[in-house]
Amino acid sequence: MVKINQNYAKLPGSYLFSTIGKKVREYSEAHPDADIIRLGIGDVTQPLAPAIISALHSAVDEMGAAETFRGYAPDLGYEFLRNAIAEQDFKARGCDIEPDEIFVSDGAKCDCGNIQEIFGLDNKIAVCDPVYPVYVDSNVMAGRTGTYDEAAQCFGDVIYMPCTEENGFAPELPGEVPDLIYLCFPNNPTGAVIKKDALQAWVDYANKNGSVILYDAAYEAYISEPEVPHSIYECEGAKTCAIEFRSFSKTAGFTGLRLGCTVVPKELTVEGQKLWSLWARRHGTKYNGAPYIVQRAGEAVYSEEGRRQIKEQIAWYMGNAGIILDGLKEAGYTAFGGVNAPYIWLKTPDRMTSWEFFDYLLSEAGVVGTPGSGFGPGGEHYFRLTSFGSRENTVKAMDRIRKL
């Protein structure tokens, strides 16, 4: 008699963004005339840059001719893309990462969710609180987190690292040593960043204690301040303790195109085994590569033209972030982030819970954001807005919020 994976039953409620979608759908059905502005899910709205569109068209033409058609991609991804990533994202910043330490994939979400599979079930994970739900949920599904405590909104076997206004939303080194440490900077959802010396302390901590850092750098392209590291490999010794995830989703608007990569340095060994080999095996067995045309689009992101165009696009989104930050300040809110990240993290007024504020903002202003508590108990009384809306909608949303 077949049995299901009972760990799924431990997951609290449905996936955050599915719940938001459902609530908004229900509200729209009840209020068909409502003009709803979505600043909730971190989805981009700007069209793909011309250099990327042009690369896509060329690659599509290649797929239509026998001489240039491409079938299965190489296991790690095409060299042209891995070379560009190694050169521009890493070597240009002084990080000694080789193209064959880069695994091209269909996005950082998938890689962040799948990476835990190469580790034993008896590892203890540490996550920031609040945190992007995929890190915890994928470990719950695997059975690595213990049971869920409804009252505390926590899993028994997870080390939660509070990220609060007091510590500048940067976690402290935990007293109990975790085996796997998830870090994300610039942070989703708080928009906080980590300075190089603070990140170096994490690297030293991991190397000293035999932990592995799973570093999500999906938002590095939004960094505007010079002293903020774009990659964990800017820190000394990171190659022996860290895996890094990178994404084209927010960098170049690839949310609907799907492309990311994971860096597993060859020097990174656990119990005498190269994690590179384990991830290569997982990649080769349970995955089959990102589409050729999308990898060519990724290559175009690194062309001179592409670089200029996506820089403009990011600057444009950060213009939205400025509008949101200014609007919130004028309306009397306390808000964080929005300087090195596309996310603005605000305190709900009058100690409203995050979901109360969600309902309030949806019904009174027609604005959809993301409840902070959806990212963990530490997110309670906070709320996330994103700068990915259109300019018009962002301005309109802030007007409405100011008038509340």
- Helix 391-403 with 304-330: angle, nearest 10 deg: 10
| Cα distances (Å, whole numbers) of residue 28 to 199, 204, 365, 399 | 44, 50, 13, 21
Q: How far is the CB of 360 from a copy of itself (least distance, A)?
A: 26
Of the candidates 9, 12, 7, 8, the residue with the CA atom closest to the CA atom of residue 143: 7
CA-closest candidate to residue 84, choices 302, 396, 351: 302
4: Cβ–Cβ under 8 A, 6 or more apart, which residues? none
Residue 160: C-alpha distances to residues 108, 213, 346 (Å): 22, 15, 21
Handedness of CA 358, 151, 158, 112 (dihedral sign): negative
The count of residues interacting with a copy of itself (CB under 8 A) is 85
* Shortest distance, position 136 Cβ to a copy of itself, whole Å: 10
Site for a copy of itself in 318-377 (CB under 8 A): none
| Nearest distance from C-beta of residue 342 to a copy of itself, angstroms | 13
| Interface pick for a copy of itself out of 77, 107, 130, 306 (rule CB under 8 A) | 107
Q: What is the number of alpha carbons within 13 Å of residue 139 lying toward its C-beta? A: 30
* Binding residues for a copy of itself restricted to 42-81, rule: CB under 8 A: 43-48, 50, 53, 56-57, 60-61, 63-66, 68-73, 75
**How far apart are alpha carbons 86 and 75 in whole angstroms?**
17
Near a copy of itself in 374-403, by CB under 8 A: 390
- Only one of the segments 23-31, 131-139, 182-190, 222-230 lies at the binding site for a copy of itself (rule: CB under 8 A); that segment is 131-139
Closest of 211, 285, 265 to residue 100, by C-alpha: 265
State the minimum distance, in angstroms, from the CB of residue 300 to a copy of itself.
12
In this complex, which beta carbon is closest to a copy of itself, that of residue 64 or of residue 332?
64
Please confirm whether the linkage preceding 371 is cis (ω < 30° from 0): no
In angstroms, give the least distance from the CB of 315 to a copy of itself: 17
Between 201 and 270, name the residue whose CB sits nearer to a copy of itself. Answer: 270
For a copy of itself, the closer CB: 1 or 30: 1
132 within 8 A of 188, measured Cβ to Cβ: yes
Binding mask 205-234 for a copy of itself (x = CB under 8 A): ----xxxx----------------------
Q: Which of 35, 122, 176, 350 binds a copy of itself (CB under 8 A)?
A: 122
Stretch touching a copy of itself by CB under 8 A, among 84-92, 289-297, 330-338, 363-371: 289-297
Tokens of 149: 């405590």
Question: Which 9-48 residues touch a copy of itself, going by CB under 8 A?
Answer: 9, 11, 14-15, 17-18, 41, 43-48
Q: For residues 134-153, which are near a copy of itself according to CB under 8 A?
A: 134, 137-138, 141
Q: Which amino acid is at 378?
A: G
Closest approach of a copy of itself to the CB of residue 28, in Å: 15
Give the pair of three-digit tokens for residue 120: 């034993």
Sole binder of a copy of itself in the list 84, 97, 104, 180 (CB under 8 A)? 180
- Is 110 among the residues that bind a copy of itself (CB under 8 A)? yes
